[in-house]
Amino acid sequence: MKKTGKHKPHIVFLFSDTGGGHRSASEAIIEAINLDFPEEFTYEMVDFFKEYSPPPLNLAGPVYPLMSRMEYMWEFTFKASDNPDFMRVLFSAFWPYIRFGMYKMLREHPGDIYVSVHPLINIPFLRAMRRREITTPYFIVVTDLVSTHTAWFAKEADLISIPTEQARKPALYAGIDPEKMKVIGLPVADRFCKPPGDKKGLRKKLGWSQEKTIILLVGGGEGMGPLGTVSKEINQAKLDVGLVVITGRNRKLKEELEAMDWNIPTHIYGFVTDMPDLMRAADILVTKAGPGTISEALIANLPIILYHRIPGQEEGNVSYVIDEGAGIWAPNIEDIINTLEDWLNNPEKRMLAVENAKRLARPDASRQIVQTIAEMVRLNK
């Protein structure tokens, strides 16, 4: 994804496909650049693991899904390494092995500003910049909501975008100057940031029930988590609801659910591109605790039932949603059913969660980040 131009300031996004959030954050910011500064900047995205890391680090992208499913090991690794001194020692140990890739990346991708959306590039890349006496502005956009690993917080960065007030604490613990932090929010694609619109009109277009409370059940692009079991239990509970299940790329699950006899109005979708409309048309979201999905749901003013989180990095997301009153943690199927029954019998509880979601929403985050990038580039001229 690249534009060319001889005289326009050039933005280099440092990311890697270790999880979907880093790429989608970069793309959301680039979309905002094209909306607010369509002719002012050029840009490119650089996958530093894939393109500039030596083996086996260059396999981080393909290996990530497997690693994240090994939850106990993932949790131990995340928490054991979440210390500023430990990370600096670790990167110093790796430096002789990775330094040539860092220098090559600097040579091949000169920019007027570097924007990092990944925690593991910051310390080594800034070290390479320092060794080569390069003073280009370096801007970190943190893409974890609350449980922000210390690797995000490189003191040499010029500025760090923090997604929530809760994420300031680990940044301060890592020794970041408060003047170098701005609480902006998580960058989200513009299509999620439109006004809620006409829910009845959306439901009519989608063919959903107008009278029922609609539950939107999602498990990410791969249709992970207990989607099938939860949807079947909701069906057996015979709640007065409509159900929408997004199975993502899990074609086997989609076919299995489509073959079922349903007691309630149910719509089964595979991988979708109109998730913003589905969120705006729904009443309750049941999902895993991914930061992007939570941010999108808050913008859609959806109350959230969280059923799964990645240990370590997503634990804070659960606390954030619960503590702010925007949803419920329901790791067991019985908890999900009980919460749905409670919200149906006591609609004021659900509406309170709706109001809290509305309060927490940051639909302008991507555009605020772009304004910040523009200011940093202009100040460096």
For every residue of 10-35, DSSP letters joined together read: EEEEEE--SSHHHHHHHHHHHHHHHH
Percent of the chain with pLDDT over 70: 93
Bridge partners of 232, per DSSP, are: none
- pLDDT at residue 61 in the model: 66
Chain segment 192-238, per-residue pLDDT in tens: 998 877 899 999 999 999 999 999 999 764 445 578 888 999 999 98
All structural domains of the chain, each given as residue ranges with its CATH number in brackets, are 10-188+363-379 (3.40.50.2000), 194-360 (3.40.50.2000)
Nearest to 258 by CA among 248, 245, 268: 268
CA dihedral 370, 376, 380, 381 (to 10 degrees): 40
pLDDT of 7 strictly over 80: no
Q: Residue 234 belongs to what H/E stretch? A: helix 227-237
Say how far apart CA 6 and CA 93 lie, in whole Å: 39
Cα distances (Å, whole numbers) of residue 110 to 14, 46, 378: 12, 11, 17
- The answer to whether 324 and 257 have CB atoms below 8 angstroms apart is no
Say how far apart CA 81 and CA 232 lie, in whole Å: 40
- The answer to whether 164 and 145 have CB atoms below 8 angstroms apart is yes
Chain segment 58-95, per-residue pLDDT in tens: 767 666 767 766 777 778 788 888 988 888 899 999 99
Find the mean pLDDT for residues 280-293: 94
User: Is this structure's pTM higher than 0.85?
Assistant: yes
- pLDDT at residue 6 in the model: 58
- pLDDT at residue 224 in the model: 53
Nearest to 14 by CA among 101, 121, 102, 159: 121
